[in-house]
Chains A and B, each alone.
Chain A
């Protein structure tokens, strides 16, 4: 257990559905991240939040919409996804961002396995 939980663990949705992924961290961290892991590709950073403000959006399509209501929770709202969006979505948290601390170690959740039909 890393102190970062994600729900649901598995999700199957059609292209017209709207769903949300949830991440919660119990580590007292103030930065949270969404990553996408597709088969045979490196992990890709999607979004970064620090102190509940989005500080990085790595050219992610608008059909992915993040929300960070407080420093412990992070959501990823999904709308009209494509089959190529099927992947493992990982959430992570850290205490501070890289440019504030040299000891920015990220702790990852178990991921949500998303399948888009």
Chain B
């Protein structure tokens, strides 16, 4: 059974700092991996989707990498801002899971002004 773990569970940083969020998964037979952002009490916003054949994806100040063989992904946030404060979720789609995404519990990020 696929399990997704995110470390750390919570992170508090001063504004302007570069930071890395980690995601690991137990079964490397994945179709893709997706990073989401969730603001308190709200739905999910997709940030980056990495196909299994890709190594990284970039969008603005965000960069996500994927090492499928070792079962790891990182989300790098450059020059963090208070508006980046949210919970960041990692999810993997397995090759044989149909439409199922397996989610991690998330990293709660607070960027202090």
A contacts, CB < 8 Å to B: 2, 4, 6, 31, 33, 40-43, 45, 48, 50, 55-56, 58, 88, 90, 92, 94, 97-99, 102-111, 113
- CB pairs A–B below 8 angstroms (21 shown): A33-B99, A42-B104, A42-B105, A45-B100, A48-B98, A55-B99, A56-B99, A56-B100, A98-B98, A102-B51, A103-B51, A104-B93, A104-B99, A105-B34, A105-B49, A106-B46, A106-B101, A108-B36, A108-B45, A108-B46, A110-B42
Which residues of the partner chain B approach A108 to less than 8 Å between Cβ atoms? Answer: 36, 43-46
Q: Does B103 contact A (CB under 8 A)?
A: yes
Assembly CA distance A58 to B97 (angstroms): 11
B100 touches A58 (CB 8 A): yes
Give the number of residues in B that approach A within 8 Å (Cβ atoms).
26
8 Å CB contacts to A: which residues of B63-113? Answer: 89, 91, 93, 97-106
**Least Cβ distance of B54 to chain A in Å?**
10
B105 touches A41 (CB 8 A): yes
Assembly CA distance A97 to B45 (angstroms): 19
B43 touches A2 (CB 8 A): yes
**Least Cβ distance of A49 to chain B in Å?**
9
B contacts, CB < 8 Å to A: 4, 31-32, 34, 36, 41-46, 49, 51, 89, 91, 93, 97-106
Question: How many pairs of A and B residues are in contact by the CB < 8 Å rule?
Answer: 72
Assembly CA distance A40 to B100 (angstroms): 20
Assembly CA distance A76 to B58 (angstroms): 36
Which residues of the partner chain A approach B45 to less than 8 Å between Cβ atoms? Answer: 2, 108
**Least Cβ distance of A48 to chain B in Å?**
5
Which residues of the partner chain A approach B41 to less than 8 Å between Cβ atoms? Answer: 88, 111, 113
Q: Identify 18 new A-B residue pairs, CB closer than 8 A, beyond the known A42-B105, A98-B93, A104-B93.
A: A2-B43, A6-B43, A40-B105, A42-B104, A43-B89, A45-B101, A55-B98, A58-B100, A94-B99, A98-B98, A102-B32, A102-B51, A104-B31, A106-B46, A106-B101, A108-B44, A108-B46, A111-B41
Which residues of the partner chain A approach B105 to less than 8 Å between Cβ atoms? Answer: 40-42
